Amino acid sequence: MGSLVYARRSRERNERIVLMLSLETIGYYTETPDSQRYPPPLSLMYPSTGNFIGFVSNLSNRDWVHRAIGAFRQHTQFPSEGAVLFEWMPGVGWSDHWAFWQEGFPALMVTDTAPFRDPFYHTANDTPDHIHFEHFARVVAGLQQVVRDVANQP
């Protein structure tokens, strides 16, 4: 786990990490109804169509989720959802941001929700032709603004 090694080394060196953004599968979108799945009980609170980008973190990073998604929405016209959830819930800590939590750094995951949406995820059919490049580019442009906003905050 390279992210855990990196986060530990950063803590040992007292590096100032303001926020770690883990970009975890951000290219698969669909307008198909009922294409989005969730671990229970999240389906009661979030959309059933997999056409959005998610900003996900644990309870201690609630403010960062709100700030990041706020900056994203201010600069980008793209569907987005924020989720502040318990770490033990499936999917919440399944990426590199988890390692930064372990070392006390603020971190969140930006994701298209991968296995909860993409039927090709981690299969032989998980190929580049399933990436929605226009949506992907809009998300990246929005995230560029999020990084600028975070970097320019006092």
Please tell me the pTM assigned to this model.
0.95
- What's the pLDDT band for 154 if we cut at 50, 70, 90? confident
Decide if 50 contacts 112 (C-beta within 8 A).
yes
In a domain, 16, yes or no: no
Q: At what angle do helices 62-75 and 133-151 cross, to 10 degrees?
A: 120
| CATH number (domain holding residue 40) | 3.40.630.10
pLDDT of residue 1: 78
Residue 124's pLDDT band (cuts 50, 70, 90): very high
35: in domain: yes
Q: What is the pLDDT of residue 136?
A: 97
Query: Which range of residues forms the domain containing residue 122?
Result: 2-11+21-151
The string of pLDDT tens digits covering residues 55-73 is 999 999 999 999 999 999 9
Name the phi and psi angles at 126, rounded to 5. Answer: -80, 80
Q: pLDDT tens for residues 33-59? A: 999 999 989 999 999 999 999 999 999
Q: Look at residue 37 and tell me if it is in a domain.
A: yes
Number of domains in the chain: 1
Residue 153 pLDDT: 82
**91 falls within a domain:** yes
- What percent helix, strand, coil does the chain show, rounded to 5? 40, 15, 45
pLDDT at 6: 97
Looking at every residue in the chain, the average pLDDT score rounds to 96
